Copies of this chain bind each other. A is one copy, B any other.
């Protein structure tokens, strides 16, 4: 089990989050990658997901998000940047072959910049538009942008097990991005549904999610 209070690598996570964002916080991606390669890490738990962070935290993470990654004097923010760093150290996440490495990184960036933003628009509208009379119309108008990306992704994946043949950081991020897709929207693409199931049944994913949720369980407020 990579969570180890004596580990060299430190990953920040929230000590607790409200149930509606459980399992969605991006330290999960970093925990998952470290579990895949069996590298131990210690948790640095912080509070206040929706609160302004103290200035010493903002010095490490300018947007006040988690995770921050620390290792031997190196400080990284943004889970995508952290995954590239972890991948550079282990070809089980990022192949050494130039072609396969290029594809893995292309898919990871596609997950972060071509697929996830279309879903984030829906999340913003679902939060900011809650109980507003315009919400349904706005979400109906934004949904096709996400559906188009999913259709393109489904066609690209086809009947392959992973996007680049073997599992890489590209799959890791894409699968976690797809976890946020509403079930009925994902159901239009059985191969994507199976792809997400395949990814989230990996023992490393299961251990990562369990560790993230264990921290929340230990620190839940009494009135939650």
- Whether A74 pairs with B99 at a CB distance below 8 angstroms is yes
Cβ of A81 within 8 Å of any chain B Cβ, yes or no, is yes
Which residue from B112, B125, B152, B155 sits with its C-beta under 8 Å from A109?
A: B112
A interface, over-half SS: helix
Which residue from B113, B134, B149 sits with its C-beta under 8 Å from A80?
A: B113
Nearest CB in chain B: distance from A203 CB, A: 27
Cβ of A120 within 8 Å of any chain B Cβ, yes or no, is yes
Given A110-B78, A120-B117, A153-B62 in contact, is the A137-B142 Cβ separation under 8 Å? no
Minimum CB distance partner of A163 in chain B: B62
- Whether B121 pairs with A106 at a CB distance below 8 angstroms is no
Nearest CB in chain B: distance from A134 CB, A: 3
Minimum CB distance partner of A73 in chain B: B99
- Whether A149 pairs with B75 at a CB distance below 8 angstroms is no
- Whether A98 pairs with B74 at a CB distance below 8 angstroms is yes
Q: How often does this chain occur in the complex, in copies?
A: 2
CA distance A222 to B116 in the complex (A): 38
- Whether B132 pairs with A137 at a CB distance below 8 angstroms is yes
Which residue from B74, B75, B78, B137 sits with its C-beta under 8 Å from A114?
A: B78
- Whether A75 pairs with B102 at a CB distance below 8 angstroms is yes
The residues in A between 80 and 129 inclusive whose CB is less than 8 angstroms from any CB of B are 80-81, 84-85, 98-99, 102, 105-106, 108-110, 112-114, 116-118, 120-121, 124-125, 128-129
- Return chain B residues, CB-CB under 8 Å to A112: 80, 109, 112-113
CA distance A67 to B120 in the complex (A): 23
Cβ of A76 within 8 Å of any chain B Cβ, yes or no, is yes
- Return chain B residues, CB-CB under 8 Å to A153: 62-63
Give 11 pairs: A residue, B residue, CB < 8 Å, sorted on A: A58-B155, A63-B110, A75-B102, A76-B106, A77-B110, A80-B113, A116-B117, A124-B141, A128-B142, A133-B134, A134-B134
